[in-house]
Every structure is written in structure tokens, then in C-alpha cells.
Structure 1
């Protein structure tokens, strides 16, 4: 694996990301991670999942959808993390960047969103159906995607902790609005952050298997 820090232009801003690609064998897809509320590309949970998917032959891009200045502002106001249209536009710009980057331009894109990042992923998937293979949501808030839920046409995997009762209910409601193929995968005993022993491994396994299915179908 070869990892490097990259800069992705979006919305007149420069977003920082960590791109990991396989060498010498090409990856089969690239997983673009959208972190959740108050988190960053350094999220240990997303990095653990990214490492597991990388071991399965997938390239990964973990990106900050806010600049450092915006993150400092968000720590005070907590407003930008819930600006789903903004985050969705920036995620779409990252998809476009992957389409121009030599190492990833021929790869289908998997969007992996956590918390509010899942809503941004669904918005971006609705806007880039030709580039996105599938969306995976971990403890996500798909309900915040609004009308984009009805417009998504790519398969969606919703992974939720069995003890994350409120978010589980929101995911069930969102699933009923999805017209695309979808699956709700409940991890028994897990709470919102999947901090319980072994639960994050189950998230990785579910995401890997889902991606395998979508790649085979493609």
C-alpha cells in the first residue's frame, strides 16, 4: 500500500485527505470516507475500517470536509457539521477529484459515511450516480439527507448498532424511503460509536462483504 496526503479543491476551499492505493496490483474500487459530527479524517474508527477494507483490495481516501478554520468555527457553533448540502457538495467534488486522479480515475467509488457524513454521502450519490458504486452508512443519519433519499439509485447498506435505539429507528424510517436496493444490518450489542469489543470488526466485515457483492453485480 502507498499512502500520501492530498489536497482536494472544493467550494473554493482546499480540503486535506489521506489517499491509500495498492501497488503494484490495482485496487478494485476506492472507498471515500465522510466522517461524522465533530470528527475528522483522523477518526480511529474510520481508520480501522479503512485498514480492513484496504486489506481486502480496496483503495481508500479519508478526507476532511471542513477546513481547519471551519472546524474551529464548528467547535463553537456546531453548525457546519449539520450543513448537509455543503458537505454533500464537497463530497461530490472529492468524487470528481478521484475521477481525475491517475491512481483512481478508473475505479468505482464506494461512499462510506458515519453519522452526519452518511447523509452527505447520500446527497453526493444522488448527484453522481454514474461514478458511485454504493453507499455504506455506519451509525449514520440518512434521515438528514432530505429529498436526496428519494433520488438515490445506487445500493445502500445501513449499519447500525443494536443498542443505538434512536438512530436505529431513524434508519428504519429512512430505509422505507429508499427506492434503490438496500439492506439494514444491525450489529447486536453495539452502541452508536461501536466501542464494544469486536463490534467495529463486524462493521468492517459487513462493509467488505457488501462491497464484494456490489462489485460482483457490476
Structure 2
């Protein structure tokens, strides 16, 4: 697979956020990942999904949404990982950066959010309706996006494990609040982290198909 990988630093206000940018030879779009609570851009689940997207001619950006100093605070208090306002503001700023960066500015942008990152992705999509073309949530908490759900215009796919009963209920409530094209897919036999054999592969394949369908130049 012919891909170009680079480590970049994305300026967001006074913060400088490290990120891994991967672009296939002729990308059809680029997907920005919003990891879940307590995770980082090195999340093995998100990197596994990103590799599948790269194989489908989709660029990917995996970024640490907290600075190293903030990470130290969050490791002690767990407060910043649930600060949806902070995370969504940073995601929106990274969307703006992608829209200006020479290597990505011609590409439609998608957002992939996991756990609490899904809420931040949806709020960011509401903030940037003209720039975010599609959203996928993996085991997400879209309910935490609150009133911002009504402002999401991007086609949205909600993926939830069939054994993750409480999160299924929360995703169903979010599905009803989202005004645009939205689908809720329940993956049979999967728990919250999709750790069962083959389940994360199914998530990656469905995400790739969603972005390939909805991200257009």
C-alpha cells in the first residue's frame, strides 16, 4: 500500500498537539480521529481502524487532544477527558487546520469518534457544518453532545456492540435527536470495546464504507 506517513504538530490556540498524518497516494478524503476517555493517538483500536481506512484510499489523522501537561493532570483527576467543550473546540480547530494545510485542503473531511470522543466529534460537526462531510461513532456517547446534536448536518453512523445495552439505549436517544441522515448499527456479540474476534474488523469495514460513500470531493 502506497502511503505517506508524517508526524505533525498542529497549533490550536496556545496548545501544540502532536499528530500522525497518513495519506494514501490518491486519497478520496481524510478522517480525523477523536479518541475516547483516557486514550491517545496510539490507541490500538483506532490505529487498527485507521489502517483499514488507509487501505480504502482514505487519509487519517490521529491526534492527542490533550498536551503532555494536561495528560498528567488528567491521569490524576480524569477531569479533562470528559470536558466535551474543550475537546470539541480543539477538534473544530484541527478541522480548520486540515482545510488550510496544503496536503489536505482539497480533501473532504470526516470525523471518527470513540467513547467520549464521539460526543466531541458530533459537537465539532455542528460547529463546522460546511467542512465536516461525515461522522462515525464507535461505542460512543453521542448523548454527551447534548443540544449540539440538533445542529449536526453530516451523515452519521452510530456503531454499538450488541452486548453494550446501556450504550445502545443512549445511542438510540441520540439517533432520534440527530436531524440529518443517521443510522444506528448494532454489532451482534460485541462488548463496548469490540474486543471479540472479528468485531473490530466489522467496525472498520463499516466505517470505511460510510466514509467512502459520504465523503465526496
Instruction: Report if the CA contact (8 A) 1:18-1:61 is conserved.
Output: yes
The residue that corresponds to 2:30 in the other structure is 30
The residue that corresponds to 1:3 in the other structure is 5
CA RMSD of aligned residues (A): 1.0
Instruction: Report if the CA contact (8 A) 2:134-2:215 is conserved.
Output: no
Aligned length: 215
The residue that corresponds to 1:214 in the other structure is 214
SS in 2 for 1:160: strand
Gaps of 5+ in 2: none
Instruction: Report if the CA contact (8 A) 1:11-1:89 is conserved.
Output: no
The residue that corresponds to 1:110 in the other structure is 110
**Which residue of 14, 17, 22 maps to 2:19?**
17
Cα distance per residue 1:115-148 (max 9 Å; x no partner): 0000000011001111111110000000000111
The residue that corresponds to 1:170 in the other structure is 170
Cα distance per residue 1:153-173 (max 9 Å; x no partner): 111000000001111110011
Alpha-carbon shift at residue 210 of structure 1 (Å): 1.2
Q: Quick one: distance in 2 between partners of 1:213 and 1:2?
A: 23
Alpha-carbon shift at residue 211 of structure 1 (Å): 1.5
Q: Quick one: distance in 2 between partners of 1:215 and 1:148?
A: 22
The residue that corresponds to 2:160 in the other structure is 160
Equivalent residue runs for 1:187-198 within 5 Å: 187-198=187-198
Gaps of 5+ in 1: none
Instruction: Report if the CA contact (8 A) 1:18-1:62 is conserved.
Output: yes
Instruction: Report if the CA contact (8 A) 1:7-1:16 is conserved.
Output: yes
Q: Quick one: distance in 1 between partners of 2:67 and 2:96?
A: 19
The residue that corresponds to 2:96 in the other structure is 96
Q: Quick one: distance in 1 between partners of 2:64 and 2:139?
A: 18
Q: Quick one: distance in 2 between partners of 1:149 and 1:181?
A: 12
Q: Quick one: distance in 1 between partners of 2:180 and 2:74?
A: 33
SS in 2 for 1:41: coil
Alpha-carbon shift at residue 200 of structure 1 (Å): 0.3
SS in 2 for 1:158: strand
SS in 1 for 2:215: helix
Alpha-carbon shift at residue 215 of structure 1 (Å): 3.4
SS in 2 for 1:17: strand
Equivalent residue runs for 1:33-72 within 5 Å: 33-72=33-72
SS in 2 for 1:146: helix
Q: Quick one: distance in 1 between partners of 2:166 and 2:13?
A: 33
Instruction: Report if the CA contact (8 A) 2:110-2:215 is conserved.
Output: no
Instruction: Report if the CA contact (8 A) 2:115-2:141 is conserved.
Output: yes
- TM-score by structure 2 length? 0.97
Q: Quick one: distance in 1 between partners of 2:170 and 2:215?
A: 28
